[in-house]
Amino acid sequence: MSTRFASLGNLVKKQDLILNAVCLLFAAAFVVMALSNVRRAGNFFSIDSLFFTLVSLMLAGIFMIIPLMWAYETGLLRNLFAAEGDDAVGEAVPVHFEGTTKLFLSILGFLLLLTVIEVFLAYIQVPLALMLTILIGLSLIKAALILAYFMHLRYERMSLVYTLIPMLVICICLLFIFFPDSFRIFNLRNYR
């Protein structure tokens, strides 16, 4: 902000400060709520208790976003991030396709290996629940390999990964909320 528009800058600064203070206050209040819930709940690992704690913490988190963003903007947090170096991945590893045929072959080999393991599991007849867990786990690894190497996500900017993957994962996780209902319907059907 230039000197000429300094007063406007001050105004904005004041707004920011007030906003941050209010948000911090709310966030603190919600954290206190969560903590008191933890303290007072007889059985912390009940659904009620976990749920209220989580929701309180989530609301606290939402309120924390503004101050955090402000802190990041103003440079308070920048060093923290700089240590990680979000440009390290993108810039330090210049990719040369011609040199990595071996890499792609080994990825392919790995994918084939995982597939064979999956099929082998089907052959030795693992119980369904265990089978499902292992299969999902292996499939996620395979998906990650394809994304990272075949689709070159590993060599893209990390910001692209941060943009694409969380929104997909959040949505897919949300779809899992359908399942309580399917279990309910199963129970209804089997009500004798």
Subset of 136-165 contacting another protein (CB under 8 A):
136, 138-139, 142-143, 146-147, 149-152, 155-157, 159-160, 163-164
Closer Cβ to another protein, 79 or 97, answer by number = 97
Closer Cβ to another protein, 79 or 101, answer by number = 101
Query: CB neighbours (10 Å) of residue 157?
Result: 14
Rule CB under 8 A: choose which of 75, 79, 178, 192 binds another protein. Answer: 178
Closest to 110 measured CA to CA, from 83, 72, 160, 148: 148
Rule CB under 8 A: choose which of 28, 80, 88, 105 binds another protein. Answer: 105
43 binds another protein (CB under 8 A): no
35-43, 75-83, 180-188 -> range binding another protein (CB under 8 A): 180-188
171 binds another protein (CB under 8 A): yes
- Token representation of residue 168: 């997909």
- Token representation of residue 16: 């920011």
Closer Cβ to another protein, 12 or 32, answer by number = 12
Q: Please, what's the b/e burial string for 92-109 (b: 16 or more CB within 10 A of its CB; e: otherwise)?
A: eeeeeeeeeeeeeeebee
Rule CB under 8 A: choose which of 3, 45, 79, 191 binds another protein. Answer: 3
Closer Cβ to another protein, 65 or 80, answer by number = 65
Task: Please give the Cα distance from 79 to 168 (Å, whole number).
Answer: 29
| φ/ψ of residue 191, rounded to 5 | -75, 120
Quickly list DSSP for 10-38. HHHHHHHHHHHHHHHHHHHHHHHHHHHHH
